[in-house]
Structures are given as structure tokens and as C-alpha cells.
Chain A
Amino acid sequence: MAKKRKVVDAAAAPVAALEEAEPPRKRTLLGRKENGYHQTDDEVANKPVFRNKEKVLVLCSRRITFRYRHLMMDVMALLPHSKKDVKVQAKDNKSSTLNELTDLKGCSSCLLFECRKKKDLYMWLSKSPNGPSAKFLLKAVHTMEELKLTGNHLKGARAILSFSGEFDQHPHLQLLKELLTQVFCTPKDHRKSKPFFDHIFTFSVLDNHIWFRNYQVSLPAGVTDKLEKQAMEKTTLIEVGPRFCMNPIKIFSGSFGGQTLYENPFYVSPNTERSRDKRKKAGKYAKKVKAKQRRKAHLDINQTEPSELANVWDEE
């Protein structure tokens, strides 16, 4: 990251509102239940089967740069349950066009990479057609092509998702966690998936950003199926990539639009940031002149008294 950011308190959520709102009701396979509800034995025995039929449409806007396109390809390689589509025009009416596209492809969620000005990458994460959706600004992007990321794993193996603890502490992060889980979790028994688990996606919240990492889990050689404690301790991770850092901008109730549910209070758009930088540079000369004047004034006020001994040698 080029710019150093100040670390800020994460306690940005309005606390009063948090206390008023009830926690979300318990979700069970038999529908939503009030909190404190316990399932009867009968219900447990005849549990309906849960089937995850998630499909993700992955696509990007036009005028995307190669690096960001590679990132998109990497994401597609990691998600066997994804479908790809052609680039979309950036200025299209997003919600209707994209919802229609997603529907046509038979997908239930959409991951859109949108590039602006050939430098800023935004990512939309949306459940179609009824929402919610979230918009992120992606920063610190590294693709899998980079040679310093030395890991490798099976293509199509389902990833383990690891979330940092902070995801359960704020409502908007809870919603984002649900979204990320549904999009990045490959459905069980998906026909393109492989029945082994050798990599892990990490989502960590740090400094109001969500950081994504993908590691290969590497066990010591010779371990086949039974894991002893020793082998567990010797487990290491090798980073596979890609890497990126998501800065949440907004969460909407609809898919690609609708009522705003959350707005990141710390978000500054890259355009504003750049103009601010420029403005700072613009004042450089004026500042220098001002400093010189100040220095001169200071010297005028604090003139040193001529020393008594200055002329001692002149008299002789």
C-alpha cells in the first residue's frame, strides 16, 4: 500500500442503534424461529435436507487492466462453481442488466469487477435477484502469477473458509460474512469439485478492511489419513495467492442497488484522495515563501547584540 494510513478505532458503529435492534432470529431448516427456541427430537430426526445450489457469475467491466483481469481469472480458478461472462459496459444500467444476465446464466449470485480510470478496482458482491449486495474498493492486489507466491493446490478442491473473530461482532460484518461464505464456499458434491481439502481462504478484518489470503495446507510427508498430534503441529501453510484487500464502501438491500443498509464512515474515494494529494503538493511553493518570511521576521525581532569583544583587536 502506497499510502500510510492511521490506525483508527473500530468502534465506529453507532452503539445506541445496536442496542435497540434485536439480534437476527434463529435460522433453521424449518424456517426462522424466535431466539430461545429449541428443536424437538422429532424435528431433529426428520430434518429436511439442505442443498446448496449456489452458482456465481464472475464478470468484469470493460476497460479493465490486465492485472485486474488476471485477478478475476484467479478467482474463477478458485471457484469451481463460478460461471464467466463477457465484459459489461461500465455505464450500463447496472441492476437490471446484471440481474438479467445472472438470471440467464442460472446463477444465484454475482461477482463483478469494475475498473475505473484504469487504476481503481471496485468489486460488487451481490445476491441476485433480491439482494443484498455490497460494493468494495480493492487495494493491494497481487495475482497468482507472481512468483513469490510458491504454493499450489488442487484445482476445484473445496476451500476451507476462515474468518477472524471480528466478523461476529458488528452487524454489517455479519452480513458480509454470510455473503462471503455463500459466494466463496463451493457447494458440497459440486460436480466440478474434488473430494479433498488442501487449501484455506482467510478473511481477516484489520483496520476496517477485509483482507483475503489463500494458503495451501502442507502436511509433513508420509502423512496419509490419520493425523497424529505431531503431524498437526508440523503443518505449515504456503501462500498460493491471489491477495487483495477489500475496503467495504456500501451495502445495499437490493441486488446492485436499492436501499443503503450500511455506509463505511471511513471511506474516502480514490479520486478525493488523489485530489487531496495534488492540493498538498500545490501549496509547496507558497509554504516555502511563507517559511522564509517567518524566518526573516524572527531574525529581525531577535537580533543578536554586538559582542563587546568584537572590536578588541581592531583598536591596536
Chain B
Amino acid sequence: MAQEYSDDEIEFSESEESEEDEEEKPVEEARKDAVYNIVGIHEKLEDIGWPDDIDWIQSLSVTVEDDELKAVDVNDDLAREMAFYTQALEGARDAYQKFEALGIPFLRPSDYYAEMVKSDTHMLKVKDKLLTQKKMMEEADERRKQREAKKFSKEVQAEKLKERAKQKKHDIESVKKWRKARSDSGYTEGEDEFPVNVENGGPSAKKRRVLASPGDRSGGKDRRNREKRDAKYGHGGRKGLKKKNTAESAADDSSFRGMKRKGGF
């Protein structure tokens, strides 16, 4: 059993390898019969080549020895472009030093305007694109910040409510304490110095007046009686009108969840 198994394994691995070979072979294989006529190449080079002793200003050609370039992976876009960039930069510095040594003006004066390879409209487009890119990045940043803030906002809200409740409790407690202290110290009951209606939030709280016009000083009717009777005997009148939609109820979408966004994007 074990023998068979191991045999099998070997067979599989071989077949897999051969498949991989098939895929990669044609890519790296160099043709053996490719022509390389070096003598002919040298002859042609002698034929067409410019003399070696011409001035540099004629050819403007610089050669940059760059060992980095050989080690660069072609498929790594960033590294490749960086290698080209460094080669170009070194070449430019080299050339500019040569210009300086030759004493030739080579920089464009600031007041020299001339046609450029790219038109102004094109450059405007380029600028626009850069700006939009920047804007988009900023917006994305903003959105990210908001998203993070939203995560915390719930907790913050709960904390606030708790704080409020605590504060209220504390206030009531302190008033009670104060009353007790007062009664202990021999004050007659029922004779409050300032009648504090704690439940309604202090003396300034207005009493709820039902069924009274603003100018009416009567204090209004007690609504509780009416309600009790309504509950007992029914309110009367037609129910059908109640069940119909009115303009207000149609416009009310507080119970409709569909249109609401579920938070920022």
C-alpha cells in the first residue's frame, strides 16, 4: 500500500512539472540560430557613425552607467520608472554641468515665451485633473473621519442621557436634604419660605391649563373627568371620518423608513 502511494506521488509531481514547463518554456527560450553578424555591424557602424571627435554640443548625448537598472524587475512598474527617472536625472545634471563648462546659455529666460509641445488648453485639463484628484482625496478623508465619529456618537449620546439623569437625581436629593435640615432645625410645617414644586421643575414652571384661552385666568377645566367619561361611554360621532387620510397624515412620513439613508456612504 505504502509503496503504491509513493509511486503515485512521484507520478503526479512529474506531470505537474511538465505542465508548468510547457507554459514557461517559450517565454525564456533564446533562439540558437539567430543571426548575429558582429563584423557586419561594426562595418556599418564605421560607415554611418559620426566622428568620435565632434563637439559634445552636436550630439548632446550622455551615457549614464547605472547598475541599479540591471537589477530592476521589469514587472515592478514603480521600481522600473524610478530607475528610468534616476538615469534621466543623472543625465540631466551631467549635461547641465557640461553646458556650464562650455559657457553656453541653456536656461530659458523667464520672459521668453514660445510655443510649447502641449497646448495651453491641454495643460488646463491637466491642471483640472490634478485639482479634482486632490479634491476627491480630501472628500474621501472627510468621509472617513465622519464614519469614525459616527461609531462613537451612539456611546456619547447614551453617556449624555445617563449624565442628565444623574444630575436630576442629585438635585432632588439635595433639595430633600435641605428641607429635612430645615424641619429639623424647628421650622413649622406648611410654611415654606418659597414653595418649590420640585416635580414640575421649580416655581417658574407653568401649570398646565386645559381648555382655557390665553387670557382666561380661571385655570381651565379639569380634563380628567371628560376623559373618564369618554372612555366609559365612548366619544360618539362617526368613526369613519377618523379613519380617512387627511392632507397632514398623507404628508407625514415619520413612520416610513425606505427613503432614509443608512448613514453616510
A-to-B contact residues, CB < 8 Å: 1, 4-8, 10, 12-14, 17-18, 20-29, 32, 39, 47, 50, 52, 77-78, 127, 130-132, 144-145, 147-148, 150, 152-156, 158-168, 171-172, 174-175, 178-179, 181-182, 185, 187-188, 194-198, 200, 202, 204-207, 209, 211, 213, 215, 217, 219, 223-225, 227, 232, 235-237, 240, 251, 253, 259-266, 268, 276, 280, 287, 294, 298, 301-302
Contact = CB atoms under 8 A, between A and B. Distances in A.
A225 B105 contact: yes
Interface stretch (B32-40, B138-146, B186-194, B201-209): B32-40
Contacts of B38: 17-18, 20-21, 171
Contacts of B48: 127, 130-132, 178-179, 182
Contacts of A302: 1, 4-5, 8
Given A22-B42, A166-B70, A182-B50, A263 B91 contact: no
A255 to B, nearest CB: 11
A159 B59 CA distance: 10
B64 A174 contact: no
Contacts of B129: 147-148
Interface in B58-97: 58-66, 69-70, 72-75, 80, 83-85, 87-93, 95-97
19 contacts: A14-B36, A17-B38, A24-B42, A24-B45, A24-B46, A150-B130, A154-B116, A162-B92, A165-B63, A171-B42, A175-B45, A179-B48, A185-B58, A197-B106, A215-B92, A224-B109, A240-B118, A294-B15, A298-B12
The 10 A-B residue pairs whose C-beta atoms are closest, nearest first, are A162-B91, A265-B34, A165-B65, A21-B38, A265-B30, A263-B34, A265-B31, A24-B42, A161-B61, A263-B35
Given A175-B45, A215-B88, A294-B12, A5 B37 contact: no
A301 B7 CA distance: 11
B222 interface: no
B184 interface: no
Nearest to B75: A4
